[in-house]
């Protein structure tokens, strides 16, 4: 398993520069690093000073780099899907559709990037994956995808299995599927090994994102007002998916003391401007990025007091909404919704009160 590092912030604050310097720093420390860029334009290889392809290639000791190409990732994912179909379906019907015909729909690029990161993480070839993505809500939605997908699967499974339609269909599932598939889907449709495997993958993804020793992000900003506001907003939005923010990197700066109150209690590190050649000045300015940072936990639960506390910095009371229409408690902050993962003792309990204080949403049951 690898440590996945990514950077959040407004465009133009130097996220890519910081990502490249981070990769160089960690590689020099003996970590096996893969730097993966979501930017398909020539700007990334120009800044890197190296030619980059859609497959990882070594450019320095312990340092490999790849430029994510969504069309290439789509081709490979489609071929894998067809192999899985041929494994389970007696007469595959996707064999006549070729990957090279497929166009990219909105959102596909981030889903494909997440799958690529998952595969590189599982490969055991790298100690650290440095992901240079869009650094905005799209990156957060990508990292939150396992949790959202598992919620959809769990919620709609319950709705389906309790419906009259499913109860009427259940007796026919086994004979119909056995005629079409190479596997036996008798019994609970959702308890078969294939469904369990998919559920386990989603659970592993959720656990990784909420584990600071597995996945974390750093805010990148400048001293410009809009950049600071964006970094604050993304800090709060990251808490919605349980992503740990390890600190703030203030680019083009030699003294970021003025931001201490704004981002308290996160550590703030000033980063000098990139001189245009040689990464050493930025590498030396970066903080230690390997150790698990001391950061406020996104979510804390006190079962004895029947309270849940969610840290939402960067938002005020008017931007936070709490609802409980179904069995789950939903928090909406900014342009993002999050269904709280509650322990068994509180799951399904009615919310009795809530208050927003000093950046914390405190919910009572």
Containing 149, the helix (H) or strand (E) segment is helix 145-161
Q: For residues 85 and 7, state if they share a domain.
A: yes
Q: For residues 177 and 204, state if they share a domain.
A: yes
Looking at every residue in the chain, the average pLDDT score rounds to 89
Render pLDDT for 163-184 as a digit per residue (tens, 0 to 9).
Answer: 887 777 777 666 766 666 666 6
Q: For residues 222 and 346, state if they share a domain.
A: no
Phi/psi for 57 (5° steps) reads -140, 145
Q: For residues 239 and 360, state if they share a domain.
A: no
CB half-sphere exposure, 273, CA atoms < 13 A: 5
Q: For residues 93 and 156, state if they share a domain.
A: yes
Q: For residues 141 and 286, state if they share a domain.
A: yes
318 secondary structure, DSSP code: G
* Inter-helix orientation angle 193-209/145-161, to 10°: 140
Which of 23, 18, 67 is closest to 249 using CA atoms?
18
Instruction: Report the largest interatomic distance among the alpha carbons of the chain, rounded to a whole angstrom.
Output: 70
Q: For residues 267 and 304, state if they share a domain.
A: no
Q: Which domain holds residue 360?
A: 299-364
Residue 4 scores a pLDDT above 80: yes
Token pair 């970590």: residue: 31
Q: For residues 288 and 305, state if they share a domain.
A: no
Last residue of a domain, one of 280, 295, 310: 295
Residue 65 scores a pLDDT above 90: yes
Render pLDDT for 323-350 as a digit per residue (tens, 0 to 9).
Answer: 998 778 999 997 888 888 888 899 888 9
Containing 110, the helix (H) or strand (E) segment is helix 108-123
User: Is the Cβ–Cβ distance between 120 and 36 less than 8 Å?
Assistant: yes
Q: For residues 273 and 325, state if they share a domain.
A: no
From residue 320, give the alpha-carbon distance in Å to each of 167, 323, 338.
39, 10, 11
Q: For residues 316 and 281, state if they share a domain.
A: no
Render pLDDT for 269-314 as a digit per residue (tens, 0 to 9).
Answer: 999 988 878 899 999 999 999 888 878 888 889 999 999 999 999 8
Last residue of a domain, one of 247, 277, 295: 295
Query: Any idea what the CATH number is for the domain that residue 216 is in?
Result: 3.40.50.300
Token pair 């130097």: residue: 14
Residue 190 scores a pLDDT above 70: no
Rg, Å, the chain Cα set = 23
Q: How confident is the model at residue 195 (pLDDT cuts 50, 70, 90)?
A: low
pLDDT at 322: 93
Last residue of a domain, one of 249, 279, 295: 295
Distance from C-alpha of 112 to C-alpha of 122, rounded to nearest angstrom: 15
Distance from C-alpha of 147 to C-alpha of 149, rounded to nearest angstrom: 6
Which of 99-113, 114-128, 251-265 shows the lowest mean pLDDT across its residues? Answer: 251-265
CB half-sphere exposure, 237, CA atoms < 13 A: 23
> What percent of the chain lies above the pLDDT cut of 70?
94
Distance from C-alpha of 43 to C-alpha of 47, rounded to nearest angstrom: 6
From residue 96, give the alpha-carbon distance in Å to each of 54, 78, 82, 250, 290.
26, 12, 10, 52, 47
pLDDT at 176: 67
Q: For residues 345 and 274, state if they share a domain.
A: no
Domain count of the fold of the chain: 2
Q: For residues 279 and 322, state if they share a domain.
A: no
User: Is the Cβ–Cβ distance between 219 and 245 less than 8 Å?
Assistant: yes
Token pair 């003792």: residue: 345
User: Is the Cβ–Cβ distance between 248 and 221 less than 8 Å?
Assistant: yes
The CA-based dihedral angle spanning residues 212, 217, 218, 222, taken in that order and rounded to the nearest 10 degrees: -160
Query: Any idea what the CATH number is for the domain that residue 316 is in?
Result: 2.60.40.790
pLDDT at 117: 96
């Amino acid at each position: 398993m690898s440590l996945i590092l990514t950077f959040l912030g407004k465009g133009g604050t130097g996220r890519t520069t910081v990502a490249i310097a981070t990769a160089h720093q960690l590689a020099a420390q003996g970590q096996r690093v893969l730097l993966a860029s979501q930017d398909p334009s020539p700007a990334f290889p120009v800044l890197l000073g190296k030619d980059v392809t859609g497959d990882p290639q070594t450019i320095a000791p312990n340092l490999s780099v790849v430029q994510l190409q969504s069309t290439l990732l789509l081709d490979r994912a489609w071929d894998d899907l067809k192999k899985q179909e041929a494994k389970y379906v007696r007469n595959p019907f996707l064999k006549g559709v070729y990957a090279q015909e497929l166009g990219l729909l909105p959102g596909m690029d981030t889903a494909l990037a997440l799958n690529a990161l998952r595969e590189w993480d599982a490969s055991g070839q790298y100690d650290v994956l440095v992901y240079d993505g869009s650094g905005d809500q799209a990156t957060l939605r990508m990292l939150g995808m396992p949790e959202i997908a598992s919620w959809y699967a769990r919620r709609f499974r319950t709705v389906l299995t309790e419906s009259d339609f499913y109860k009427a269909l259940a007796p026919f599932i086994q004979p119909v599927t056995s005629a079409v598939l190479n596997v036996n889907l008798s019994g609970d449709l959702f308890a078969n090994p294939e469904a369990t495997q998919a559920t386990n993958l989603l659970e592993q993804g959720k656990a990784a994102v909420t584990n600071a020793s597995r996945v974390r992000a750093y805010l990148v900003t400048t001293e410009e007002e809009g950049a600071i506001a964006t970094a604050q907003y993304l800090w709060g939005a990251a808490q919605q998916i349980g992503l740990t923010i390890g600190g703030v990197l203030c680019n083009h700066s030699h003294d970021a003391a003025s931001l201490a109150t704004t981002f308290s209690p996160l550590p703030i590190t000033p980063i000098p401007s990139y001189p245009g050649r040689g990464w050493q000045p930025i590498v030396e300015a970066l903080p230690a990025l390997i150790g698990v940072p001391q950061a406020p936990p996104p979510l804390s639960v006190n079962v004895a007091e029947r309270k849940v506390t969610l840290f939402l910095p960067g938002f005020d009371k008017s931007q936070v909404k709490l609802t409980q229409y179904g069995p789950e408690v939903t928090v909406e902050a900014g342009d993002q919704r999050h269904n709280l993962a509650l322990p068994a003792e509180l799951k399904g309990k009615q919310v009795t009160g809530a208050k927003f204080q000093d950046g914390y949403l405190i919910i009572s049951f």
